[in-house]
Chains A and B, each alone.
Chain A
Amino acid sequence: MDNKVAEGVFFLTGKDFSNAGAASSNLKGVLEGMSVQPDIIRRAAIAAFEAEMNVIIYAVAGMMHYYITPETIRIVVKDMGSGIPDIGLAMTEGYSTAPDYIREMGFGSGMGLPNIKKNTDRLDLDSVVGGGTTLEFIIYLNKDSKGAKNETL
């Protein structure tokens, strides 16, 4: 990729399904513009999209920050939501508290957080019940860093 850095933020509104995914789409465009490898773009876009959908589905509002350097893509998603009581359970494939109307849209199958973990190299999830959730993940751009996959920050 180009030897550039980039940083930005997207504001996310809960239940705004008409714009759900727009932030991740924009982020994907930024990465394409920086000539990041397509497989890495896909991983970053999928992780960002799942995180964005979690904010849209579960929170009142949130922000997605991205920081891109020649070495890493770091994304931090903070939301004003009800928080996650049991993070271990939330990370379990198939566990979901989504209501039926979310499932009818094709989401809420309990694959979001596991899917984010699968597509990222480092993941940190911090949540306070009643105080919101902060999700941070990193994808390394250099193959040398692959050994660090699925570390916890």
Chain B
Amino acid sequence: MTLDEIKNTLNAAVLSKREDMNLNIVRAYCADLMSDVLAFSITNSLLITHLTNAQVIRTAEIADVKTIVFVQSKRPDIETIALADTKNIPLLVTDLSMYEACGKLYEKGLRS
């Protein structure tokens, strides 16, 4: 599933500057516990979360998470977005709840 398809599926806004909308994502994982992301996420995946602090970006970088979707309209601050830009991690934000966002992506064939 491309980043563009994820954006359209979730009616999401793109927050970061250096997004490649053709970036292909084949796995997704949702969590608000960063240690769970480190322990259980799969490399090159999409992370769906409520958390918007800088540690989410660091965690994503360390765990080789390709892109992050923030749910429930939660937006990171400018510094966090800038950090994601330097790490080439695209950020998206959607008004959907985590449950709805995961459901819509699952329906479109994106698996964990």
Contacts and interface: CB of A to CB of B under 8 A. Distances in A.
Given A24-B62, A28-B62, A109 B54 contact: no
A111 B33 contact: yes
Interface of A is mostly: helix
A106 B53 contact: yes
Contacts of A114: 39
Given A18-B54, A106-B55, A49 B62 contact: yes
B100 interface: no
Contacts of A53: 55
A42 interface: yes
A106 B39 contact: no
A109 B62 contact: no
Contacts, number: 76
Nearest to A20: B55
A67 interface: no
Interface string A112-153: 101100100000000000000000000000000000000000
A109 B33 contact: yes
Contacts of B79: 18
B20 interface: no
Contacts of B55: 17, 20-21, 53, 105-107
Q: What's the interface size class on B, roughly?
A: 20 to 34
Contact of A42 (B35, B36, B54, B64): B64
Contact of B32 (A25, A28, A106): A106
A42 B63 contact: yes
Given A28-B62, A42-B43, A112 B53 contact: no
B61 interface: yes
A45 B79 CA distance: 23
9 contacts: A25-B58, A28-B61, A42-B63, A49-B58, A50-B35, A106-B49, A107-B55, A109-B33, A110-B35
Interface of B: 32-39, 43, 49, 51, 53-56, 58-59, 61-64, 79, 87
Given A17-B55, A18-B54, A106-B51, 20 more contacts: A17-B54, A20-B58, A21-B58, A21-B62, A25-B61, A28-B62, A38-B43, A38-B64, A39-B43, A49-B38, A49-B62, A105-B51, A106-B32, A106-B34, A106-B35, A106-B55, A106-B59, A107-B33, A115-B35, A118-B39
Q: What are the 8 A-B residue pairs with the smallest beta carbon separation, nearest first?
A: A21-B58, A111-B35, A106-B34, A49-B62, A45-B62, A109-B33, A46-B38, A106-B51
